[in-house]
Amino acid sequence: MKSLTQHYQADPRAADHDIFGRVAHKDRRGFLRGAGLSALGLALGSAIPFHRSMPSGLIPVGLAQDMIIEGKDGLTYLNDRPVNAETPAHLLNDDITPTARHFIRNNGVPPEGVNVQNWRLTVDGLVQNILDLSIEDLKKRFEVVTRALVIECGGNGRAAFDPPASGNQWSLGAVACAQWTGVRLMDVLTAAGVGEGAIYTAHEGADTHLSGDPDKMPISRGVPIEKAMDPNNLIAFEMNGAPLHAMNGAPLRLVIPGYPGSVSQKWLTRIWLRDQIHDGPKMTGKSYRAPQHPVAPGTDVPKEDLAIIENMPVKSLITSPQTGAALTESSLSIHGHAWSGSGAIDQVQISIDFGATWEQAYLKKAENPFAWQHFDADIEFPISGYYEIWARARDETGASQPFAISWNPKGYLNNSVHRVAVTVKI
């Protein structure tokens, strides 16, 4: 028997009809009825009193065991249509994020039955030479390089906004720093020849729209040509020395560090150059845009006051100790990472007295540009009690993490000071 997840991935419309008793509707509030409601109740072991409020396509969190993905370990699933999952902070303690711990961010349904040998990448639009490349062509024609690169969802930290912002309620774990292997995007675009008037890239992938409509794309974003020609961007076919994981874009993806992860198109099939800012799905409206000036919480910000997010802000993450830890010694070693879309990190500070005083952490140099930097600190608790360990980073531009950031309607760019709670009994 197919799991609920498999059922939705195979045919979303049929799954809605079977489980929720109705096909797509403009309201899509998902009034459960008939056998679908009975089946869910049996699976959960109880009736669902408020079933009439359940959105169409929602998989109850009580069926979380249905969300087991091969090769992924310990992730917290936010939803399964599409699949989105983050990594608890303490599971990001490795200097290089293992593939099993790399977060998942999908907008549509990933392709199935991928044939690596037959995969093609087209580079066209405003180019002098249209390219039609296999993965083997990429490996043979261009220098293959490996880089440690941070990918972070623009909405990482959204769950902390008050009032709540719409979108996946990421806490802290929609970020990772894996070792990516591929060819430079710059080299491929140079081979194609950037045409006169080209100002923006447009990216397309093989994932399909949740509606099942083949004429709709779930996401197609791009970047300014200046960013595309940064030598740190990769067209990647490996992560951590092995082929890409299916949920991380296999067999081919972009890795464009420093910008929101949404521009790093997964299941990459096409890059085309345009003489305008790309207007594909998730490039227009309020998607991946933030107010150009502070706004009051809950404000309905006009689209014309929103700007496309480019460089991601400076940020830090304490990965050890785990929040909620009960300690029996006065001494503690702290470990974590810091990164920024605007340059290297030049300082990380730690506080255990709610920001009254700060101590410098030991900061390692980055393995390469756009890799996160690891920090360590040894602290001493003076007496038993409840403590919060705070970390704040500063990058080479002078930008530093704030205690709290301004609210925005989509909950993007939360780079507030990271806080971990511990109790100490000496």
Helices 34-44 and 12-20 cross at an angle (nearest 10°) of: 80
Burial grade of 289 (CB within 10 A; 0-12, 13-18, 19 or more): buried
Q: Find the range with the poorest average confidence among 7-16, 107-116, 227-236, 363-372.
A: 7-16
Give the whole-angstrom CA distance, residue 114 versus residue 267: 9
Give the whole-angstrom CA distance, residue 304 versus residue 408: 14
Residue with the larger pLDDT of the pair 263 and 79: 263
* Residue 390, both tokens: 């705070």
220 contacts 282 by C-beta, under 8 angstroms: yes
Q: Please report how many Cα atoms fall inside a 13 Å half-sphere around the Cα of residue 419, on the Cβ side.
A: 14
Give the whole-angstrom CA distance, residue 117 versus residue 173: 33
Q: The whole model's pTM is what?
A: 0.86
List, for residues 386-398, the tens digit of each pLDDT value: 999 999 999 999 9
Q: What is the mean pLDDT of the chain?
A: 89
Q: Find the range with the poorest average confidence among 33-42, 139-148, 198-207, 221-230.
A: 33-42
The phi, psi pair for 416, rounded to 5°, reads -65, 160
Whether the predicted pLDDT of 1 surpasses 50: no
pLDDT of res. 81: 85
The phi, psi pair for 142, rounded to 5°, reads -130, 155
- pLDDT confidence tier of residue 29, bands split at 50, 70 and 90: very low
Give the whole-angstrom CA distance, residue 372 versus residue 344: 9
* Residue 287, both tokens: 């998607």
Rounded to an integer, the average pLDDT of 372-389 is 97
Rounded to an integer, the average pLDDT of 255-270 is 98
Whether the predicted pLDDT of 57 surpasses 50: no
Whether the predicted pLDDT of 23 surpasses 50: no
- pLDDT confidence tier of residue 6, bands split at 50, 70 and 90: very low
pLDDT of res. 40: 56
Q: What residues contact residue 188 under an 8 Å CB cut-off, 6+ apart?
A: 123, 131, 133, 138, 142, 235, 271
Domains identified in the chain and CATH numbers: 1-66 (no CATH), 120-308 (3.90.420.10), 315-424 (2.60.40.650)
